[in-house]
């Protein structure tokens, strides 16, 4: 999805000061990458190049790797580079791509898990973000909240007896 790729790159480069010398230890996003490897072909590469141009980062080296034929797309070249199947360079690029996929999938699963838990608790009348947070701090998981007695729920700061009854009925 070109729009999502643009959005991710805009978020990444919006935080950049364009000068590593101004970067503090807590602001690692300000450091520019030495290389950008895009997962995709010519279209994805062009979308990324648009964003780099918006931020004045046209000088950064960037390549696209299309999955089907494992072709490497280079800005300004009409035809992709086809590395030999037994090339160590191709293996390295594939491993980088596969690690990025693994990382993205893990982050996506974690976000879904958190949002699922939040929506389950916040669907209960009287339980909003603050009470949800207090419950999770006190019990650690939805299963532990389910297993808690009415008295244990009422002992959580901000949870009234009526809300505790609703939680027990809902879970």
Per-residue pLDDT tens over the stretch 49-106: 999 999 999 999 999 998 878 899 999 998 999 999 899 999 999 899 889 888 888 8
Provide the CA 133 distance to its chain's centre, in angstroms. 22
pTM metric for this prediction: 0.59
Nearest-angstrom CA–CA distance, 53 and 74? 16
Q: How many CB atoms sit inside 10 A of residue 5's CB?
A: 19
More confident residue, 138 or 110: 138
Residue 19 pLDDT > 60, yes or no?
no
Average pLDDT rounded to a whole number, residues 7-32: 71
Q: CA angle, 22 as apex, 19 and 25 as ends, to 5°?
A: 115
- Burial string for 140-160 (b: 16+ CB within 10 Å, else e) reads eeeeebeebeeeebbebeebe
User: Residue 154: helix, strand or coil by DSSP?
Assistant: helix
Residue 8 pLDDT > 60, yes or no?
yes
């Amino acid at each position: 999805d070109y729009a999502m790729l643009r959005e991710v790159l805009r978020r990444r480069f919006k935080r950049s000061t364009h000068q590593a010398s101004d970067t503090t230890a807590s602001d690692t996003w300000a450091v520019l990458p030495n290389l950008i490897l895009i997962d995709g072909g010519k279209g994805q590469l062009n979308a990324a190049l648009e964003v780099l141009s918006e931020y004045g980062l046209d000088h950064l080296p960037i390549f696209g790797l299309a999955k089907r034929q494992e072709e490497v797309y280079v800005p300004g070249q009409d035809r992709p580079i086809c590395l030999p199947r037994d090339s160590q360079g191709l293996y390295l690029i594939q491993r980088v791509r596969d690690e990025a996929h693994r990382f993205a999938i893990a982050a996506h699963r974690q976000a879904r898990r958190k949002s699922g838990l939040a929506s389950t608790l916040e669907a209960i009348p009287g339980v909003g973000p603050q009470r949800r947070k207090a419950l999770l701090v006190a019990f650690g998981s939805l299963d532990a909240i389910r297993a808690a007695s009415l008295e244990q729920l009422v002992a959580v700061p901000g949870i009234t007896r009526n809300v505790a009854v609703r939680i027990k009925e809902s879970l």
